[in-house]
Structure 1
Amino acid sequence: MTTDAIAPTRREREVRVAAVDFDDFVAARSGALLRTAYLLTRDHALAEDLLQTSLTKAWFAWAKIENHEAYVRRILVNTYTSWWRRKWNGEQAVPELVESSVDHPEEGAHDLWTALGRLPRRQRAVIVLRYFEDLTEAQTADLLGCSVGTVKSQTFKALAKLRIDPALAPAQEEN
């Protein structure tokens, strides 16, 4: 009797193939997914955590899903949504305010990041997916788990808020 290794089972071969596919997907798409996560969270560390959590969730169903990109984006948005629904958001009260050493932009400076940050999270998610990720209304609705009409109304409301946001107002010229 020989001591040759036992041939891998069908399930073991499927897991190996799925692992290679997953690794290739992560290598190819993680940059774009990280950009989406950053646009949602507006924080590099949180964006990395969000992407890592989303990819971990996707790994468990990887062999069963067909459209990996859409599935991971859906997990990304859903995980982001569940994070901001929590009561605790990482902020802690302090007895006295510390003076900020951050330079503030000049009055009238165009600051899209500030304006996006002022939007409610659902509206920010719609704007990010529609205009930064260039998804259609139907794709955005599918990712957010809502109707196309909701995407349209949230987009309309978000754009209306962005139009009047002081961070995006043109600089006033002095006469």
Structure 2
Amino acid sequence: MGQATEQEFTAFVNARGAALLRVASALAGDRHAGEDLLQSALAKAYARWPRIRGDAEPYVRRILYNDQVSGWRRRGRRPAEVSLDALPDRAAGGHLDHDTAVRLLLQDALRTLPPRQRAVLVLRYLEDLSVEQTAEALGCQVGTVASQASRALAKLRAQVPAFDDAVTRSEALR
């Protein structure tokens, strides 16, 4: 790869790396696994960089989504179930406000979702993609995105009853 191409890749990573890490961490369930996922995706993108035309970010995001979902399939592994009967024991000065506690419960609940459902939620609500854009990114039908999102949200509501209250409050603030 030429020096100019390497500089373009480095500029891309410097400009979009933090946003891509946020998505990778949400998909993988924690920051360390997200860093590994992003590193793998960037390595694949780097190898194909001269052939990538136009905006590279959607290309890298698609690698992230596909690698995470296929990784779970290949290993036959799903995230461990997490009991959500009580608030998590977190070292935060001994006190968690309600919104922080709900956010932590949701983060733990997201780890229990199947990979496709988590990917749909990340794309739809963290990345704010439309149903059509999400379907294109995941290589599936629009109806699949809608049904996976519906099932995932139902599971989150069942595991974290305060979820509906938090969503209602955040929508009221808009």
Hey, what does 1:94 align to over in structure 2?
none
Is the partner of 2:128 in helix, strand or coil? coil
State the Cα distance separating 1:122 from its structure 2 match: 0.7
Is the partner of 1:58 in helix, strand or coil? helix
**Structure with the greater alpha carbon radius of gyration:** 1
Question: Please, what is the CA RMSD of the aligned residues?
Answer: 2.7
Name structure 2 gaps, 5 residues minimum: 80-87, 166-174
One-letter code aligned to 1:142: E
Partners of 1:159 and 1:50 in 2: how far apart? 24
One-letter code aligned to 2:131: E
Q: Is the 8 A contact 2:41 2:63 kept in 1?
A: yes
1:44 to 31, 42, 48: 31
* Identity across matched positions, percent: 49
Note if 1:58 corresponds to 2:45.
yes
Partners of 2:35 and 2:61 in 1: how far apart? 14
State the Cα distance separating 1:74 from its structure 2 match: 0.4
Partners of 2:20 and 2:122 in 1: how far apart? 12
Q: TM-score, normalised by structure 1?
A: 0.74
One-letter code aligned to 2:125: Y
Hey, what does 2:73 align to over in structure 1?
85
Partners of 1:55 and 1:88 in 2: how far apart? 24
**How many residues get paired?**
147
Note if 1:126 corresponds to 2:114.
no
| Aligned ranges 1:18-37 → 2 under 5 Å | 18-37=5-24
One-letter code aligned to 2:17: S
State the Cα distance separating 1:141 from its structure 2 match: 1.1
Would you identify which runs of 4 or more consecutive aligned residues in structure 1 move more than 3 Å? 166-171
Partners of 1:170 and 1:27 in 2: how far apart? 37
Partners of 1:170 and 1:81 in 2: how far apart? 27
Name structure 1 gaps, 5 residues minimum: 1-11, 92-101
Of Structure 1 and Structure 2, which has the larger fraction of its residues in helix? Answer: 2
Hey, what does 2:57 align to over in structure 1?
69
* C-alpha distance after superposition, 1:56-104 (max 9, x if no partner): 0001111212220110000011111122123375x9xxxxxxxxxx827
* C-alpha distance after superposition, 1:106-153 (max 9, x if no partner): 9x9521112212221110110011101111212211111111121111
State the Cα distance separating 1:169 from its structure 2 match: 5.9
